[in-house]
Amino acid sequence: MIAQAASILSRPRLSVVIPMFNEVQSAVPMLDSVQHALASCGMPWELIVVDDGSTDGTAKILRDHAVKLGPHIRVIALRRNFRQTAAMQAGIDHARGDVIATLDGDLQNDPADIPRLAQRLLREDLDLVAGWREQRQDGWLLRKLPSFLANRLIARVTGLKFQDLGCSLKVFRAPVLKEIRLYGEMHRFIPAWLSTVTSPDRMAEEPVRHQARQFGESKYGLSRTLRVLVDLLAIHFFLRFGARPGHFFGGIGLLLGSLGGLILTYLAALKMAGESVGGRPLLWMGFFCVIAGLQFLTTGVLAEILARIYFDGNHARSYHVLPHPAVADPDEAWHV
């Protein structure tokens, strides 16, 4: 047993994270496909399936089948539906491997691509290898077109040259991935978040297989495009001003305050020259610009204080997990 544990620890370990929500028909085939694809991958591995508050019995099917396959498959059940980003973060938090792979639970990603992406990550000493659905098997209007537009917009704003940021099949170096926290709908922006802690030169993209959905319906449609736009504004702000929000708000405050100051100085000069300025709309504009500038400056100070609290304090989690059996020995429950 000791020799086996030493052998496991001497090799990079792989954790596969799959969030699932109301995928009762895909549950068993998904676990079986991962088991078959990674049976001879050459790395100790574990599978962490996160049930995101499913209401169709997905969690029970997952738990029952995981018992049949072995302790290397763990099911994390969330108390309610916290959405895909929080479910993915829950899986990442529970992952114990040196390498973490993520993919969707709808059987459209092929788990057989994981070893190839993991080997490239280790061979080229990268922090991320992202999948690229080069031959995507989805509808053009509802899936491909919004994804194409979103990818181009994201690439332009973030500067990351990825063909397919929306592909959930990605392989990460665990210590780097765990440096960031995912909130809201930010799972599609993971490469952008990673660029805050590592160089884009340590990220790569690899073509992967993609299959048409076999069971159920997609949980996402055209509505996600609007969410992408909102999230993109947030990621644009955090990438440039996340650690210095005072510069953002303070810059606007100084601009407005300076404009208001110039207007009031001009009106004061006219007043001294004997002209009446009390009824001019420009006077109100000058006052409002000065007041707005002061508000933005004070907002910048408060934002700086909040940023210090955020970076220095413990961050709250974006999900809550149901009680589940703990792993007795962290060096066991690996498939080797």
Residue-wise pLDDT for 244-281, tens only, equals 888 889 999 999 999 999 999 999 999 898 888 888 88
pLDDT at 195: 83
Which residue in the block uniquely carries the two structure tokens 């973030």? 158
The answer to whether position 317 is within a domain reads: no
Nearest alpha-carbon partner for 292 in 328, 260, 316, 268: 260
Query: Residues 225, 297: one domain?
Result: no
Find the angle CA(179)-CA(161)-CA(219) to the nearest 5 degrees: 70
More confident residue, 183 or 294: 294
The model carries a pTM of: 0.76
- For residue 103, pLDDT over 50 is answered with yes
Which residue type is seen at 200?
P
The answer to whether position 237 is within a domain reads: yes
Query: Residues 274, 292: one domain?
Result: yes
Please provide the distance, in angstroms rounded to a whole number, between the alpha carbons at the two ends of the chain.
13
Distance between CA atoms of 201 and 76, rounded to whole angstroms? 34
Distance between CA atoms of 234 and 242, rounded to whole angstroms? 10
Nearest alpha-carbon partner for 188 in 242, 130, 239, 137: 130
Banded pLDDT at 316 (limits 50, 70, 90): low
CB atoms within 10 A of CB 112: 15
* Full strand arrangement of the beta sheet holding 73-77: 73-77, 45-51, 14-20, 99-102, 170-173, 128-132, 203-207
Tokens coding 124: 């080229």
The answer to whether position 38 is within a domain reads: yes
List Cα–Cα distances, 311 to 29, 182, 314, in angstroms: 42, 15, 8
Write out pLDDT tens, residues 45-93: 999 999 999 999 999 999 999 999 999 999 999 999 998 889 999 999 9
Q: Where are the alpha helices (DSSP H) in 159-200?
A: 174-177, 190-194
Query: Residues 203, 297: one domain?
Result: no
Query: Residues 150, 58: one domain?
Result: yes
pLDDT at 280: 87
Query: Residues 207, 257: one domain?
Result: no
Cβ neighbors of 250 (< 8 A, separation 6 or more) are 296, 297, 300
Nearest alpha-carbon partner for 15 in 125, 170, 127, 204: 170
The percentage of residues in the chain with a pLDDT greater than 90, rounded to a whole number, is 47
Query: Residues 262, 213: one domain?
Result: no
Query: Residues 165, 99: one domain?
Result: yes
What's the structural domain count of the chain?
2
Query: Residues 234, 103: one domain?
Result: yes
Look up the domain containing 256 and give its range: 245-312
Query: Residues 152, 281: one domain?
Result: no
